[in-house]
A and B are shown apart, each in its own frame.
Chain A
Amino acid sequence: MTELGIRAPAPHPAPEAAEHPQPAARFRPKEEIALEAVNLSLWYGKKRALTNVSLAIPKNRVTALIGPSGCGKSTLLRCFNRMNDLIPGVRIEGTVRYHGVDIYAKNVDPVEVRRRIGMVFQKPNPFPKSIYENVAFGARVNGYRGNLDELVERCLRRAALWDEVKDDLKKSGLALSGGQQQRLCIARALANDPDVILMDEPCSALDPIATLKIEDLMRELAEQYTIVIVTHNMQQAARVSDYTAFLLTDERTPGQLIEYAPTQELFTHPKDRRTEDYIRGRFG
């Protein structure tokens, strides 16, 4: 039995079995895998957004998804915790496995999936409640039986926000700066005791200093959590991630994985010409 309370299915075919895998996209980290998209395709109505993506996300590492607008990176990220279920007309083929379990299987509760695989969004979105309540709310709703004060402090410390807010926990979360709000949202995600944190351009609304704080935080969090980040900022991907995946939409194939590699390798000598052109800014 697995963490999601269901029996793990038989091992899936190796990623090489995908229909049209790009040679540079076949890479698979030689580490324990936390999350894995296998031959994943997605349609919004009739419009295809992902094509046969196979990508293995290693545990306790930061994996960055990069690519131009419309390449499917945010769509792929949202597939990892079934956020796309909430969009009408979405159809998915292929699977996403969390520690070997198909999270799209009929007997899997999407709410439980989202509790274990949390998400932080582009724009900080704290609840219009106190700092304390922002962190405690989700845990209380989920029936947390431990000491809430301790939980709030632990999560705020892990999100590197405690020292800045400890004397004013009753203040509204909305009164914090943008960077602090984003760290509050991270603390809120941590309060649900997730295993994986998905971050969709978490710094795009922040100034450079707040951005660096979130980046430092990501590195620290990676010691305990698996992190997947979508970013348009290639320097950010290069700074914070251990592995990077490059996605691209072209005239014929929407949302395809072009290259996946250790970050150092992808940013210094990518294998695919399209990756090289994109990261060098020679695209289009």
Chain B
Amino acid sequence: MTRALFDRELRELHDAVLFLGSMAEKAIVEAMEALRDGDLEWSRRIIEEDKLINAKRFEIEERCIFVIATQQPMATDIRDLVSVLYIVTDLERIADHAEGVAKINLMMGPEPPPRRLGLLPAMADRAVAMLRDTLKAYIERDVEAARRICEADDEVDRLQDRVYEEAFKAMIADPSTIQRNTYLIWASHNFERIADRCTNICERIIYTVTGQMEETNVSKY
């Protein structure tokens, strides 16, 4: 096998993408838990830690550009490296959505427990599961899995519809909850965007493997 150095660089980049993905996943899970527990201090930490995620994204991007400039990749390799550039952007934005949920927690302020969040935790679970599956498909270069994950995006969209419905009903029943329920709608929007970003990454996985740009799931939403 030739190009051992280049292959090692590629492996290290894949590992770094996976690491960034796990940072983003941790941020979503914790942002939801902090929201559920009304833990404002925890949310502040999540917001602070987002800077590390941003820095990691730039680090990977710089490394990727360096590899492109020095190794003159072709065919699968250039698709792989260009996909890394897109995927790290999506992962960093996913973490920004987790940060968004943390900020919503701060805006909602303390509430007496237990906090009523309706279907929001279920929606967060689905978004996290999509991200985990996406990272697995990325490492395994699994095109079929990537296509299936994109189909799952509709499920998150349906959950968001139901969160909206719950929130509107609550607002109509008790207008004093309008502000609180608006925050929950904002939070649901963040989870919905996370799922969308996962489909972007899946499209990049398909492109890396097949060389074909494919819009996988044009949602009705």
Contact = CB atoms under 8 A, between A and B. Distances in A.
B8 interface: no
B6 A281 contact: yes
B75 A269 contact: yes
A280 B73 contact: yes
A280 B72 contact: no
Interface stretch (B58-66, B76-84, B178-186): B76-84
Interface string B1-32: 11100100000000000000000000000000
A268 B75 contact: yes
Interface residues of B, number: 15
A270 B75 contact: yes
Query: Interface residues of A toward B: which range?
Result: 10 to 19
A269 B79 contact: yes
Contacts of B79: 268-269
B118 interface: no
Contacts of B78: 267-268
B218 interface: no
B74 A279 contact: yes
Interface string A80-103: 000000000000000000000000
A282 B72 contact: no
Interface string A191-228: 00000000000000000000000000000000000000
A142 interface: no
Nearest to B82: A268
B75 A279 contact: yes
Contact of A267 (B2, B74, B212): B74
Contacts of A269: 75, 79, 210-212
Nearest to B3: A281
Interface in A227-283: 234-235, 238, 267-270, 275-276, 279-283
A229 to B, nearest CB: 18
Interface of A: 234-235, 238, 267-270, 275-276, 279-284
